[in-house]
Amino acid sequence: MEQVFEFAGNHPLLVTALMISFFVLIFSEMRRKATGMVAVTPGDAVALINNDAIVVDLRSAESYLRGHIVNSKNIPFDELSAKKDSLNTSTPVIAVCDAGISSNKAVAMLRQSGFESAYSLKGGMNAWSQAGLPVVSGKKTKSKGKKS
């Protein structure tokens, strides 16, 4: 225990940074719980998709065509408030963006609009790809068959 106090005395900036990080983490978790936002991992998202959840890809059309989750709907974040009426409020919705930041904002907006089962994909498409889950490309590929 003496070593802890000695370290704290020798490195006050490090200890202060550690304490600030700890309180920011606690505060953000409490705020997330209070607002009811739920971020799901890619594995949990697969389970929701298997139970008929709708995946809404919030990225641009170009990003969507480069690679997206199977059967996802591309509704860019800017257009979501106008097109949210095309979604069923009783069906679970998983919002997906590149890194999971825009999807949190989208989930907050959807929940305020009556979507009780709206979720954000934690880490976005980056986490989905890192988990090795399938991504579909919108670009057409040429077949490598022989020409007659």
List active site positions: 97
Average pLDDT, the chain: 85
pLDDT bucket at 148, cuts 50 / 70 / 90:
very low
* 4 vs 87: CA distance, rounded Å: 55
Give the integer Cα–Cα distance in Å for 148 and 145.
9
**pTM beyond 0.85:** no
Is the pLDDT score of 17 beyond 90?
A: yes
Q: Is the pLDDT of residue 10 over 90?
A: yes
pLDDT at residue 145 tops 50: no
DSSP strand E in the chain: where? Answer: 39-40, 54-57, 73-74, 93-96, 118-121
Mean pLDDT of 65-84: 89
pLDDT band at 143 (very low <50, low <70, confident <90, very high): very low
What is the pLDDT, as a whole number, of residue 144?
A: 43
Angle at 14 between CA 8 and CA 17, to 5 degrees: 120
